[in-house]
Amino acid sequence: MSILVNKDTKVIVQGFTGKEGTFHAEQCLAYGTQIVGGVTPNKGGQTHLGKPVFNTVKEAVATTGATVSMIFVPPAFVADAVMEAADAGITLSVIITEGAPVRDMQAAKSYAVKHDMMTIGPNCPGIITADECKIGIMPGNVFKKGNVGLISKSGTLTYEGANQVVKEGYGITTAVGIGGDPIIGLSYKQLLPMFEADPETEAIVMIGEIGGDLEIQAAAFIKEHITKPVVAFIAGQTAPKGKRMGHAGAIISGSAGTAKEKMDALEAAGVRVVVSPAEIGKAVKEVLEAKA
């Protein structure tokens, strides 16, 4: 088991024939992901990486039966691509592109929600179900199959966390990189119950960072609804106020969105909070051993 995607998931790539789209679609295919085609306007009818290219998402969905799209189009076209996917009946869109304007994402997400389409990202590494399906840009070999679910705003911290879990002798069910933009798709609060319901997942790692209040919302949710052990790390305890730390959303505005308030809220919700990402693996081992 896993959440959201597995070996049967049919995926199309929006921005299929571009440099990034091509490189990563190839990597995903090599991982075993069922990429069934892609979309690039005016290249419909061609074949790329051995898969059909379509002019529109609608055609791609009608022909291939794809339910998930992976988006690599340039930032200015992301909102358009997300809305096209939603309109065509895609149920999950994974937006890898970095640098989409916030106003565009506001409109796109609002449209997606109205059309019952889930989104992941933008500006994220994507989602991977170990040994089954990789939709994104993460190094697949890091994610050995196991019993830990992972949710993270940061790409490299996702790899770091997964790597430590694997080094402790465990592995990953599904890992989701949710992105660090001010407006993102699926977040902790939506993903936590999926991991709670997944029989294979026995513990959950959540990696957050400064800015916004998604981690605070997650803490409240965990307290009420999550029975599986959760290990959390919040990046940016040493980040100065008012400075944007790489990610568009990673900024302490005034005194809101600090790592401390998020860590306190999670701790109060019974989450095992680690002060350094170097402790994630050990903490996972401890909570799993305590459970067993």
Partner 1 sequence: MNIHEYQAKQVFQKYGVPTPRGIIATTPEEAVANAKELGGKIWVVKAQIHAGGRGLGGGVKLAKSIDEVKELAEEILGMTLVTHQTGPEGKLVQKVYIEEGADIQDELYLGVVLDRAKEMPVIMASTEGGMEIEKVAEESPEKIVKVAVDPAVGFQGFHGRELVFGLGITDKAEQGKFIKFAKALYTVYMENDAEMIEINPLIKTGAGDFIALDGKMGFDDSALGRHPDIEAMRDLSEEDPDEREAGEYGLSYIALDGEIGCMVNGAGLAMGTMDTINYMGGTPANFLDVGGTASAETVAKGFEIILKNPNVKAIFVNIFGGIVRCDRIANGILEATEKVDVNVPVIVRLDGTNAEEASVILNNANIENIITATDLGDGARKAVEAAKGAK
Catalytic (active-site) positions: 247
Q: Structure tokens of 273?
A: 């909070």
Say which residues have a Cβ less than 8 Å from residue 238's Cβ, sequence separation at least 6. Answer: none
CB closer to partner 1, 225 vs 241: 241
- A 10 A CB-CB count for 19 gives 9
Do β-strands 230-235 and 272-274 pair in parallel, antiparallel, or remain unpaired? parallel
Say which residues have a Cβ less than 8 Å from residue 23's Cβ, sequence separation at least 6. Answer: none
Q: Is 82 in the site for partner 1 (CB under 8 A)?
A: no
Residue ranges in 133-162 that form contacts with partner 1 under rule CB under 8 A: 137-139, 141-142, 152-157, 159-160
User: Cβ 283 to partner 1, closest distance in Å?
Assistant: 12
CB closer to partner 1, 64 vs 152: 152
With CB under 8 A as the contact rule, the residue among 94, 170, 249, 266 that binds partner 1 is: 249
Q: Is 271 in the site for partner 1 (CB under 8 A)?
A: no
With CB under 8 A as the contact rule, the residue among 238, 289, 290, 292 that binds partner 1 is: 238
Distance CA 140, CA 128 (A): 8
User: Cβ 21 to partner 1, closest distance in Å?
Assistant: 14
User: Cβ 27 to partner 1, closest distance in Å?
Assistant: 7
Q: Is 268 in the site for partner 1 (CB under 8 A)?
A: no
Of 188, 199, 141, 191, the C-alpha closest to 166 is 141
Which positions touch partner 1 (CB under 8 A)?
27, 75-76, 99-104, 106-107, 109-110, 137-139, 141-142, 152-157, 159-160, 163-164, 180, 182-183, 207, 209-213, 217, 233, 235-240, 242-243, 245-250, 254-255, 259, 275-279
